[in-house]
Structures are given as C-alpha cells and as structure tokens.
Amino acid sequence: MARSAKATSIRTGADRSSAALQSGLSRRRHNNADARYPRRGNTVTFKHLSALALLALLAACSRSSSPDTAAGGNSGTPFNEKVDCTGTQADRKNAYFGDLHVHTLYSVDAYFFNGLNGPREAFRIGKGEVGNLPTGETDAYTAGRTIQLDRPLDFAATSDHSDFLGNWRLLCQVNGTLPIGVNPACNLVGDYLRQNITTIINGGQPPAFTALTAGVSELPTTASPWQDELRISDEENVPCTFSTFVGYEWTSQKFDQMIHRNVYYTGSNLPQDVPHVATLEDLIAIATGQGTSSNMNDDWRLYDYLEQNCDPAQGCKSIAIPHNPNQSSGGMYLARDPATGLPPGRDGAPLTLADAKLRAKYDNVIEIFQHKGNSECAVGLGPYETKFDPACTLELAKNVCVGSPQDPPECKKVCTGNPATDPDFCSLTTVATGVCEQAGRDGTSGPVHKCVAPLDMARNILADGLAIRDTLGVNPMRMGFIGSSDTHNGDPGNVGENGFPGHGGVLDNGPRTQLGYWTCDGQNQDPTNPANCSNRQFLDRARLFNPGGLAGAWAPENTREAIWSAMKRGETFATSGPRIRIRTLAMWTKPPADICDQLSAGHNPVDAGEIAGAVMGGNLPDNPTPAAPYIVVWAQQDPGGATPGLPLQKLDLIKGWSDASGQPHVKVFDAIAKTSSKVSMPSSADCSVKPAGHPERLCTVWRDPKFNPREQAYYYARAFEIPSCRWSTRLCTKNNVDCSKLDPANGIFPADSGMQGFEGCCGITGTVGSFSGRNRFSTITERAWASPVWFVPKAQP
C-alpha cells in the first residue's frame, strides 16, 4: 500500500541514524514512599531534563522494522479496499458504536503511565479480547490486572499524540535492544511526568516539559512508528465486523489552553509521517527566556498541513475532530468582534472567507463528552440561553459555580450551600475557576487563570457559527457530535461506571489514586502529618475524571468507508458511556403515523426517498410554506451486556438560532417525550435502581412553536436514562466505606480500618484535630446526544 507525503513547513520525522547509547543502563529502583505521596512541586528540574534531551539526541534511532507481529491476528484489509457486507440496504442504516480517542504506548504520556498496550493490543481489546493493565503506582510496565469489555465495539481508532509519536518507545528501548522500563534516563522523565500530571492534564505545560517535548519533537523518529500504526490498523481491520481507523492527536497546549484536534485518515495514499505542534523555536524561547511561543495559528497550521499532504484526488481523505473545548480556557473558539461580526482568525486578523471554508472542510464533528468532562454545556456559561438548563451539571471538569457570591447568577439554582443535595462540583475547589472576562489565544484569557468561556461549550459554538454565517455566508462551526474515552490505557470502549479501572495506568490504578489524597508543597514532606506538610490540600481526583463516552454512527454497514462517510456528513451521535441509540429526522410534511415503528424496524423514510427531509447532519430542503418543520426524535435504551441496560426517562430538544440582528440564541425544550412513571434515585445502600415502569423506547414528533422561516437554526436531541450511581459512588459503596471513621487529627482513615486510600469517598471538612467526613453519594444521568439537523432559509445560499 503506497503512502506519500508532500513538502510542508511543519516538522516531521525523516530517515536518519545515529549510534545508540547503551552503556550504564540498569533497572530502576522505585522510591515507594515518594511514589505513594506525590508532591505538587517539580522534583525533576529543568537542568535534569535538558540533560535528558541531550541523551535522547545521542540515542536517536534510525527507522526500523517494528518487532510487533500479527501472530494470531487478522489479515485485515487496507484502506483502499472496497467491501460489500451481506444484507446491506441503503435505506436501512444501523447504529454502530466505537471509540475514536485512544492513546497507546506510542503516546509519550501513555508510555510512562501504561507501557503494556500498543496499537495492536488496543484494537484487540476493542474486539473484546482480554487486555492488561499495570499494578502499583510506579511500575508502568508489568501486567498486574486484566480487563475485558462486556461487548466488543464496532469500530475504534488510535489517536496518539503526533508530537513525539513513538519517539520515547524507540529512544528508551534503544531501537528495541533494551527491555521496556530499564533506561534510567527515561525513568527520570517518567518520574517528572507523573509528578506534574495534574498540571499537564488540566491544560498546563511546565517549562521543562515543554522544552523537552519540543526538543524531542525535532528528532527524526516519528515516521517509523507512524508506519507501524498504519500497518497494524490495516491488519486488525475486519470488514463488516470491526472497522479500524488510524489517526493522531494534534496537541496544542501552550499557555494552559488545550486547542486539541484528533485527525483521522482514510484512503490508499496516506502521509508517511505526522506533523508536530512543538517547534525548536518553542524550546529556545523557554530555555533562554528570549523569543516567543505562540498558539495563535496552531489550528491553521494543522489545516494547512492537511491541505498540502492529504489530497483526495491522490487517494487521501482526512477529518479533524476538536475535543475538550471545555479545557481550552477560551482559546479554541474565539468571540466575534462586534465591529466586524467575525472572530479572530489567522494571525489574529478577522476570520476570512477562505479560512472559514477551510475550517468547515475539516471540522465536521466535535467530541462533546470524554473522561475530562462534558463539553455540551455548563452551568454559568450560557449567555445565549433563554433559561436555566439543569442538565448542564453533567461531569463539569472545570466549574465556575462554587457557592460564592461571585458565582454567575444561575449557579445559585444548583449550589445552594447544602452539601447533601448540591452537585459535587459546588465544592470541587481542585478545578474551580471563573468565567473568562476576556478570552483569546497566547494566554490572554482571564483574569482568572484557566478560566472558562461560553465558547468552550459546543452548543454555544454551534450557535456562534450561525452568526458567522450571517456575515460570511459560510458556517465554519457546522459540526455533528461524538463522544469517546481519551483513555491512556490503550483500552477503547472501557467506559462503564461499574468497576471502572481508570484510564491512566499507574496514575489511577487503585482507590487512592482514583479517588484522591492529601498533598504537600514540599518535596520531602509527609501528607499524613499535617505538622510536616506545607499548604496541605486534598486533591479530589474522583471529581476530575469519569469513564468517558462513546461515538455512534448511523451507517448501512460496518466498514471503514461507511463509518467514515457517516462522520463526514455528521450522521453521528454521542453517548456518555451506555450504548443508547438515538436519531433525529426533520421534514416539512407530516410523517406517517407509524414513523416510530418504522424507525424501530430499521426503515428510514427519508433515506428511502419516501419523504423529503433531512437526517442528522443534513439541511432541511427548501420549505414550501412558512410553517414549522416536523422533527422526529427516536431513542432506544442500551440493551446491556454483562449487566442489563437502563430504561429511558425523557427526551429533550435543543434549538439554536441567529436572529435578524445576528445575535445567537439557544433554547431547551424540556421533556418533549417522557416516562409516565415516577423517576427514583438509586439506592444509597447498594446503588440498585428501579427500572420497572420506564420505557425502553421513546419517540415523538415535535414542531417548533416559535419557528421563523427567515432565521437559520439547528435542532438536536438528548435522551436520558433513569439516574444511576456514578463510578466513584459504586467503588465506595462496594467497599463499605464509612466516612465517620476518618481520623480527626489528619483527615485520613486509620491504618487498621481497612479503608485507608478511600478518603476521596468523603466530603472532608474541618482542620487539624477536628477533621470529619460525610459519605458522598454521587449519581449520574447517562445520556445520548443526536447530531443536529440544520435549517437555512432558502433566500440564503
């Protein structure tokens, strides 16, 4: 299979070679005490890492054949092979579930957290095979636990960081001549990453980390691992059963602003290497304090690379999926200038028509749910909303509501000051922040550090796209929805709340590291002893992460081309983990009375050409009259795997539109269909639920009561399960944690209680000598989001 790459200004790897440095390497001895109680300070210095960068340069490896083999694997099919699956019908699309955001040991962070699962292992886990995870808090390279999905996925992708993709695997193992985990220089790097991981995963980049990664990004070592990923993806692809995709994450993370996109390819003539975000200029600026580092054009650099290196006419197609806008601190999508009606674009100048088209070409889908939280909406970030939406309390990884007088007004509706009923985020000071009073790139958002902006949330982003279209005639933010995991364990689809093993290898492989622990500023201080612990704080990890979500695609068959086409046209959906099926249709004529039964039977009258209308991702055809369209929303509960799925409680419909003045608006139409039975909370004793009386299916036909045929709009639906226990509550309940047993002296369970390490189950209050705890009871209302259908007035192009 041919691969090609054109010249580009973005750095990629190349074929070069140098001698491997092998002497003096010995197995690392772990300091168990330090590993057990991570410090907030940097115990590995910039000078240490600068030396390691030089060591890495000496150890840079030539391209080599990967030791990975397909023993016992599938012959697979290349990206260009056409396949027809038995029984395929164009008007009968199926709902397929997958995970498109998966990091393996080819990612630098995953390599040092879990060095067990590469791309092949990831695909095999996605197929339902048994996989391995490390155990303990320091050894990322020895298998100690096994995992297995309760059902295979239908598709999966690897999305390793393009910067230093596979570099550390090659460098640390000296081109395969050393076992994993024995290189002392690389073990120092691993120590540094693990010590600073909270900063890094929340969008920060410690200077030493930025310098090291920028330097290693310049090494010519990413081409060979990238070729491995392409080959393995081909070998593991099983048409009609399991579709594999290969991609990478473009990880712009300067100034604590996550401007991340995952890029996926299909075709027969793909690039031979990956682009890099970090540059030598970044390294020089950080190391010398002179020069500048900028993220102003990082997304445009990516689009330019794809334009130059992936030509559909030459057998290459690509798509870019933004993710975690909730972590971008106002940097991913920028507010419009009232004077021009346009946001800043390339070089900070007003967005041009050409660049609006460029973004619209690649950004067809946005990831709105993953293990770092929900990016649909958030309490306190709804300037376009007509009323408060209580569903926007889901998994807020960064929250602006903390129960203070400075909170946005709507926060008072959820953060009442009662810890027994308030959502957890009301007291989650670990990632508490504020609304950005100003938002921009190059670290100009603020004044609160790591603030959150309204345009960090997807439905506001989509509404702003409508307003931009009013000015430019092109909507650069017309996107469908997916969810995924962002796992760094190489275990796609491992998103269940029950028995969630974590996604960060040694970082969250047990109760203490999953739920939370006390920390100190000082390197040699003891968090168990408040007298010897400066700035002692409880790091509440349980509320930072969740098991992540899944991507759904409606396609006539389970092949790469069919799934890819669904993503490109936006006929996708997202879930918070369960395999809920959801779809939306829109039409001008009244649908048949049995439309819900037709959809349940797999027949779609729009796809069949029986009714003129739109499926998810599509435009309504020109309206023959000013009357409102009919919106059909259909959802089916997750049938379950090892445990039964839960029934549904309601459907919501969300409308976004741009009025005659160009002002965006968002309105939630609550419970357009709902259960007829009372919805109960799960049992606080054992997390059991009461599913009886609630429907497996909800379906309705809805019409917009305020439809204006002169205003462009989008419509998307949400389907909600009945409430269930969050993963952290399940873990605490299973282990019979009793927070009243905390030691008042230090807020830690006594060693003989059998509960030490489960402090994160508790809401801890008080000070030294008077610490007390109450059991948290956190629930979640799992859900699915259908991608929007769109209306553009026929007077507009």
**Structure tokens, 791:** 């209306």
Question: Is a pLDDT exceeding 70 seen at residue 106?
Answer: yes
Per-residue pLDDT averaged across 316-343, rounded? 96
Residue 285 or 746, more confident? 746
Q: Based on the domain organization, do 643 and 750 belong to the same domain?
A: no
Distance CA 333, CA 330 (A): 7
Residue 49 or 401, more confident? 401
**Structure tokens, 122:** 């990831």
- Is 348 among the domain residues? yes
Angle, helix 207-217 to helix 280-288, in steps of 10 degrees: 150
Query: Taking the C-alpha atoms of 276, 280, 281 and 284 in order, what is their torsion angle to the nearest 10 degrees?
Result: 140
Domain with 755, as residue range(s), is: 509-544+727-777
Q: Based on the domain organization, do 280 and 167 belong to the same domain?
A: yes
- Is 668 among the domain residues? yes
- The pLDDT mean for the chain works out to 87
Domain end position, chosen among 316, 341, 371: 371
- Is 425 among the domain residues? no
- Is 324 among the domain residues? yes
Our count of domains for the chain comes to 3
Q: Based on the domain organization, do 356 and 222 belong to the same domain?
A: yes
Q: Based on the domain organization, do 621 and 756 belong to the same domain?
A: no
pLDDT at 203: 55
Q: What beta strand segments (E) does 304-452 contain? A: 316-323, 365-370, 373-374
Residue 400's contacts (CB-CB under 8 Å, 6 or more residues apart) are 378, 379, 380, 381, 407, 408, 411, 432, 433, 434, 435, 452
Distance CA 797, CA 794 (A): 7
Q: Residue 270 — very low, low, confident or very high, per pLDDT cuts 50/70/90?
A: very high
Distance CA 40, CA 576 (A): 31
- Is 599 among the domain residues? yes
Q: Residue 76 — very low, low, confident or very high, per pLDDT cuts 50/70/90?
A: low
Q: Based on the domain organization, do 770 and 785 belong to the same domain?
A: no
Q: Based on the domain organization, do 770 and 791 belong to the same domain?
A: no
Each residue of 709-719: b (16+ CB within 10 Å) or e? Answer: eebbbbbbbbb
Q: Based on the domain organization, do 167 and 43 belong to the same domain?
A: yes
Residue 209 or 60, more confident? 209
- Is 10 among the domain residues? no
pLDDT in tens, 349-396: 999 999 999 999 999 999 999 999 999 999 999 889 888 999 999 999
Question: Is a pLDDT exceeding 80 seen at residue 209?
Answer: no
C-alpha dihedral sign at 402, 405, 411, 415: positive
pLDDT in tens, 434-464: 899 999 999 899 888 889 999 999 999 999 9
- Is 423 among the domain residues? no
pLDDT in tens, 484-534: 999 999 999 999 999 999 999 988 889 999 999 999 988 789 999 999 999
pTM of the model: 0.91
Q: Based on the domain organization, do 156 and 278 belong to the same domain?
A: yes
CATH number of the domain to which 606 belongs: 2.60.40
Domain end position, chosen among 371, 404, 427: 371
Domain end position, chosen among 338, 371, 404: 371
Q: Torsions phi, psi of 685, nearest 5?
A: -85, -40
Per-residue pLDDT averaged across 748-765, rounded? 96
Q: Based on the domain organization, do 235 and 327 belong to the same domain?
A: yes
Per-residue pLDDT averaged across 257-275, rounded? 94
Distance CA 679, CA 682 (A): 10
Q: Based on the domain organization, do 760 and 796 belong to the same domain?
A: no
- Is 597 among the domain residues? yes
pLDDT in tens, 623-641: 989 999 999 999 999 999 9
Q: Based on the domain organization, do 247 and 364 belong to the same domain?
A: yes
Please give the helix or strand (H or E) that residue 513 lies within, else none: helix 511-515
Distance CA 401, CA 404 (A): 8
Q: Based on the domain organization, do 291 and 276 belong to the same domain?
A: yes
